[in-house]
Amino acid sequence: MFPEFTLRFARLPERFYLRFDPVPVPEPRLVVFNRPLAEALGFDLDAFEAQGAARWFSGNRVPQGAEPLAQAYAGHQFGHFNPRLGDGRAVLLGEVTDREGHLRDIQLKGAGMTPFSRGADGRAPLGPVLREYLISEAMHRLGVPTTRALAAVTSGERLFRRVPEPGAVLTRVAASHLRVGTFQYFAARDDGEAVRMLADMAIERHYPGLLTAEQGEGERYLGLLEAVADRQASLVAKWMGLGFVHGVMNTDNCTISGETIDYGPCAFMEAYSPTMVFSSIDEQGRYAYRNQPWIAQWNLARFAETLISLIDDDQETAVAKATEVIKRYEPWYEAEWLAVMRAKLGLEREEEGDRELVEALLEAMQAGRADFTLTFRRLSEALEQDAPALFELFETGDGLAAWLPRWRERLARETADAGAIAARMNGVNPLYIPRNHQVERVIAAAVEHDDFGPFEALGEVLAEPFTEQPGREEYTQPAPSTERVFRTFCGT
């Protein structure tokens, strides 16, 4: 059933990983399977059969050609460096080439205790597995670069967390699992050769354009830093435009590919609040919504540090060049963010005062505690006249009332007509996002009653986030005050 493996990471020298076969689980049962993704990856689905699939996706059977391993990596967690993290519960089976010709990592998360487990059980509870499945797939449909979810299998084990929970294994698909933390692991050991091998692999897999450019070696590695900074700027701008809070932007959760990874305590905001934090362990608010662009920059600076000796033989010159790139991230990010926000407001032209216009709306939303997603969605109803459904979202509508005429005056300088602008806006402002109370509800049904119907139903809605789906209005609704979610827990 599996496509052919093209092993890349496993061909690196042994210090990059520890060979490790998934620990079998007692009763694997396939509970979710992503057929379209499997097809895109080149799986042979004629041979598909749920029991067999459960054995593959639990790790009970290792597919032919795979060489399972746990990757080594380090990372700054909440600002503190840990020189040895690594895959404590994930196993990379290997890479496959998808239908578009891109290499994709296939990883089992929750595959058992590895030499990197540091005393933890190596397993993943069903709740967090379903959460990652649902939110990563929703992000993909929302147009955000992200790891994907191929399958979820329950293991038949019970795990002991805050309360006993069923165990599960998630099959995760990624452009690669190279992280800033992977580079840090080797840089912290002064293993320049390993850092160079990682950088070469990253260039080959994610930035092949750098190979053809006529330039010296140092320029190429500086180019890698620039390219990663550029992708992170664009990624975080997309998060910001959706009200998404990642929750654990540690350097081990910051990919070199520019994909979102590790959906632990993440969530989409409802009432707009720039200081919003969801993670129960983020006491200082380090990873609050408004800090995300600057945390990404901080992570990039840590990445830059690992590349210094590759950028220039002269350390001072290398540091100066790298610092320059890290500084330039700021205008790159600002430009990406403004482009995202302009599109949300239906603006195609670029004008001087656009930033202030966006900020004024955000201020009105904050004052009115307006739902982030629905405010932008309903703006398209207010292009020409005041829309009651929009005002309903605001506890106090004065700010909005003052803002709308400013926006309409600005829209008058756009060339498209109102119908075209509305259509464009509805193509970037989703109606359906994975709202936390809905996510919690469908997870509870699966975990407590073994009922995956609500999970499937929510997944179906989220597959078409920009298209109004009659009869599914409840999915658009913010949490009732009794169900508001202010804290989410790390899926460990």
Active site residues: 252
Pair 58, 22: CB distance under 8 Å: yes
Residue closer to ligand AMP, measured from CB, 218 or 247: 247
Q: Is 121 in the site for ligand AMP (CB under 6 A)?
A: yes
Q: Which entry of Mg ion, ligand AMP, none binds 87, CB below 5 to 8 A by partner kind?
A: ligand AMP
CB proximity list for 296: less than 8 A, separation 6 or greater = 232, 233, 235, 236, 249, 254, 329, 333
Asked if 347 contacts 414 with a C-beta cutoff of 8 angstroms, the reply is yes
For residues 279 and 267, is the Cβ–Cβ distance under 8 A? Answer: no
Choose among ligand AMP, Mg ion, none what residue 128 binds, the Cβ cut-off being 5 to 8 Å by kind.
none
Answer yes or no whether residue 247 interacts with ligand AMP by CB under 6 A.
Answer: no
Longest dimension (CA), the chain: 65
With beta carbons less than 8 A apart as the criterion, state whether 287 and 265 touch. no
- φ/ψ (deg, to 5) at 80: -105, 130
Asked if 218 touches ligand AMP (CB under 6 A), the answer is no
Of 232, 253, 257, 476, the one binding Mg ion (CB under 5 A) is 253
Strands 124-125 and 103-109: unpaired
* Residue (of 250, 26, 249, 208) closest to 103 by Cα position: 208
Residue 309 contact among ligand AMP, Mg ion, none, beta carbon within 5 to 8 Å by kind: none
Cα separation, 342 vs 364, whole angstroms: 17
* Interaction residues for ligand AMP, span 59-88 (CB under 6 A): 85-88
Question: Which residue, among 264, 59, 243, has the nearest Cα to 153 in the 3D structure?
Answer: 59
Scan residues 33-62 and list those touching ligand AMP (CB under 6 A): none
Q: Is 179 in the site for ligand AMP (CB under 6 A)?
A: no
The strand pairing partners of 107, in sequence order, are: 92, 172
Task: Using CB under 6 A, pick the residue from 47, 50, 120, 320 that binds ligand AMP.
Answer: 120
Which among 122, 150, 113, 125 is positioned nearest to 32, based on CA atoms? 150
Handedness of CA 295, 298, 303, 306 (dihedral sign): negative
CB nearer to ligand AMP: give 122 or 241.
Answer: 122
| 262 forms part of the interface with ligand AMP (CB under 6 A) | yes
CB of 84 to ligand AMP, least distance (A): 9
Per-residue binding string, ligand AMP, 263-292, x by CB under 6 A, is: -x----------------------------
Is 166 a binding residue for ligand AMP by CB under 6 A? The answer is: no
- Least Cβ distance, residue 461 to Mg ion (angstroms): 28
Q: Is 312 in the site for ligand AMP (CB under 6 A)?
A: no
Residue 160 touches ligand AMP, criterion: CB under 6 A: no
> Applying CB under 6 A, which part among 13-21, 112-120, 149-157, 195-203 lies near ligand AMP?
112-120
Min dist. Cβ of residue 255 to ligand AMP (A): 12
Q: What is the spatial distance between Cα 69 and Cα 413, in angstroms, rounded to a whole number?
A: 57
Determine contact, residues 116/90, Cβ cutoff 8 Å.
no
Pick the closer one to ligand AMP by CB: 292 or 373.
292
The CA-based angle 124-128-133, given to 5 degrees, is 105
Q: How far apart are CA 166 and CA 128, in angstroms?
A: 11
Q: Using the rule CB under 6 A, is 309 a contact of ligand AMP?
A: no
CB of 179 or CB of 321, closer to ligand AMP:
179
Pick the closer one to ligand AMP by CB: 116 or 287. 116
Choices 98-106, 120-128, 248-256, 404-412 (CB under 5 A): range interacting with Mg ion: 248-256
Question: What's the number of CA atoms in the CB half-sphere (13 Å) around residue 104?
Answer: 26
Q: How far apart are CB 93 and ligand AMP at their closest, in Å?
A: 16
Name the residue nearer to ligand AMP (CB basis): 20 or 43: 20
Q: Is residue 46 a contact partner of residue 12, using CB atoms and an 8 Å limit? A: no
The least CB distance from residue 39 to ligand AMP, in Å, is 28
Residue number with the smallest Cβ distance to ligand AMP: 88
Closer to ligand AMP by Cβ: residue 97 or 492: 492
Percentages helix, strand, coil for the chain (3-state, rounded to 5) are 45, 15, 40
Q: How many residues bind Mg ion (CB under 5 A)?
A: 2
Positions touching Mg ion (CB under 5 A) are 253, 262
Positions touching ligand AMP (CB under 6 A) are 85-89, 116-117, 120-123, 248, 252-253, 262, 264, 490, 492
